Each structure stands twice: as structure tokens, then as C-alpha cells.
Structure 1
Amino acid sequence: MKKILIFTVLATFLVSCNGNAQKNSDKETSKNYEVSKSEEEWKNELTSQEFAVLRKAATETPFTSDLLDIKEPGTFICAACGNELYKTKHKFESGTGWPSFDRAVEGGVAFGSDSKLGYQRDEVHCARCGGHLGHVFNDGPKETTGKRHCINGVAMDFKPDSE
């Protein structure tokens, strides 16, 4: 009987710790960012699709982004605040229908988590304004980082190196 009681207490403790860990990682995504605006200000500055993705964490339809086929040297920047996010040299064809990168510009993105689909995913945000960009998966190129930053094209603009 004592063994059952100890097991029950231990299992309850472990489950509650796991729940708190989830809460802490969710708080990370709501931190204060350098660029902070009201919902109304964002609505006035962004297109409806940009607002849905960047501020409400929507997902654009795959294979619709104008940025999907860009191979020209340059930098992908946040469509909301202009922060540098990704370089073309780290972009690769993942076949998923969204621009994919194996790494971000150092300091360009922040990470959090979401469980909107019933399981936990690593979410990517702009480090400057907190805009939702997409998610990171562990199925990227093994010869580089092994990561796939699957990013909504509507969340970014492209700035060619030639400018």
C-alpha cells in the first residue's frame, strides 16, 4: 500500500512539474519586445494576411508565397518591423510549400512553443517585434544544422544584397 501511495505522489509531482514547464515556455513568447504596438496599430500597418499570421499566429496556404523560389543573395526581413531574420544562403527546398531555412540570422529570431494542434511545437518569432513567423522542426539538412525553420512567406519581405 505504501508503494502505491509513494508512486501516486511521485507521478502527481512529475505531471505537475511538466505542466509548469509548459507554462514557463509559453510566457517566453509574451515577453516585451523592442517594437511593441497595440492590436489596432498593427491592423493599420499590416495587410489582413500579414496581421493574421504575424499577430494571430495563422498559417498561410502552402505554395502561395512569392518568396518560395527566391535564390538571389539577400536577406529575408520581418514584414512588420524590418528586422533581419534569414539569409538566402541558408535557404533550402524542403518540399513543404513554405520558405525553409536551416538557421536564422544571429539574434534575429526568438523561440517559444505552442500546442494548438494537440502537441507541442517549437514556434519562431521575430526577436524585435514578437511577430509569429512559423515553426522549427528537426528534419532539416543533416549536413548543416539538422533544423528546418518552416516560415510563412507573408511574414517576411526580401531585401536583395544588390540594394
Structure 2
Amino acid sequence: MNKAMRQSGFAYIAAVILLVVVAGVCVALLRLSGTQQDTVNQAVLGARASLAARAGIEWGFYQLRTGACNAAPRQLTDVEAESGFRVTVSCSFLDFSEGEDSAGSPVAKRSVRVEAVACNSGGSCPSFDPAVLTRPDYVERRRVATTCTMGGANLC
């Protein structure tokens, strides 16, 4: 009888240790699930920002074709209303001569750089405010495209 009483408390200790281990595994799985969800959210925001920047590039090329693309940065309010991302588009030009044509005249060319920046900040885009840049949900994507025009033609 004495021996049975000494062994009766061992099951309680094993059960408590088992419960602590199971609780630790559950906490680790919950934290992993939360981290995974944050990663997926960031990936979705990044993809949306990239598509908004691409829309800005396409808008810039359309403006270039109509002759309205200028160096002053321009905010696209339609994209912001639809996607929630503020898009800023700017164009820069570099005129140069490349060789001569058959008549001996210089061949004038123009290199055009269209830059689009998309971000989900409430202020200016791109943002330089440290309070905005350090937010965990802040996303910014920049796309740059260049083309070359020659004497009224679209491409070199």
C-alpha cells in the first residue's frame, strides 16, 4: 500500500508537462499563421502597386503619342480612385544627333524616359516622410520605361 501511494502523483506531472508542450506548439502555429497572413497581404499589395505603376507607364506612353507628356510630374487620380494607389508619372527627354542621312543632314533623335511611381500613402508619392516609410503596410513600386523617337516616327 505504501508503494502504490508513492506512484500515484506521477501521472499528474506527465499530464501537466504534456499540456504545456501542446500549448507551446499551438502558440507557435498561431504565430506562424499570422506571419504567413502578413506575408500574403504584403505580396498582394506589392502586386497591386506594380500594376498601378504599369498603368502609369502606359498612360505616359499614350500622352507621349498625343504630344502631352511633359517633365512636370502628374498625379493620376483615376488610378487612385480605382486601386487605392497614388500614381505619379513624369517624362524626361534627351535630344541628340546620331550620324547623318543620305543628304548629309544630321539625324535628330529624342530619347524619352517615362517614370511611374505607385504608392499607397495618403500624402505625396513617392513619400520621403519617415513616419510613412516605416509603416508596415506601406508599399511603393517604381517603373521606368525608355523609348527613342526619330523625326516623327514612333521608334528609332
TM range (shorter): 0.3 to 0.5
Give the TM-score normalised by structure 1. 0.32
Higher Cα Rg, which structure = 2
Bigger relative contact order, structure 1 or 2, given CA contacts below 8 A and separation 6+? 1
Normalising to structure 2: TM-score of the pair?
Answer: 0.33
Report the structure, 1 or 2, having the larger helix content: 2
